[in-house]
Amino acid sequence: DGGITQSPKYLFRKEGQNVTLSCEQNLNHDAMYWYRQDPGQGLRLIYYSQIVNDFQKGDIAEGYSVSREKKESFPLTVTSAQKNPTAFYLCASSMQGAGYGYTFGSGTRLTVV
């Protein structure tokens, strides 16, 4: 059953700690994306990757880091430098080329305590 999996579903972090959110897909999609969803602000792009070993900053990359060592995986690290990390994080993937939409994961809700 193909799809995109995010884990964990809920995550709690103490201030000052880094935390990594997992995103795995078995759809053979080339491109992967990380979005942050906050009430009233829609989905804001954090990072994206169009090919293995390459990634680009989105609109709100500060305080985040990513890696793309495998096609299937695109983990997001929320560092202690992120000033307001409590949010809902969505991972998505897509095929390259015109006309292909995104497939989304179910999301990870991160809470800083």
Partner 1 sequence: AQRVTQPEKLLSVFKGAPVELKCNYSYSGSPELFWYVQYSRQRLQLLLRHISRESIKGFTADLNKGETSFHLKKPFAQEEDSAMYYCAPHGKLTFGQGTILTVHP
| 90 is an interface residue for partner 1 by CB under 8 A | yes
User: Residue 16 CB, nearest distance to partner 1 (Å)?
Assistant: 28
Give the torsion sign (CA, 109, 104, 54, 68).
positive
User: Residue 11 CB, nearest distance to partner 1 (Å)?
Assistant: 17
Count interface residues toward partner 1 (CB under 8 A).
Answer: 24
Peptide bond into 85 cis (omega under 30): no
| 34 is an interface residue for partner 1 by CB under 8 A | no
Decide whether 26 or 41 has the Cβ nearer to partner 1: 41
| 63 is an interface residue for partner 1 by CB under 8 A | no
Collapsed DSSP state (helix, strand, coil) of residue 44: strand
d(CA 11, CA 30): 27
| 64 is an interface residue for partner 1 by CB under 8 A | no
d(CA 53, CA 59): 20
| 44 is an interface residue for partner 1 by CB under 8 A | yes
d(CA 98, CA 111): 36
Residue ranges in contact with partner 1 by CB under 8 A: 35, 40-45, 48, 56, 58-59, 90, 92, 94, 98-107
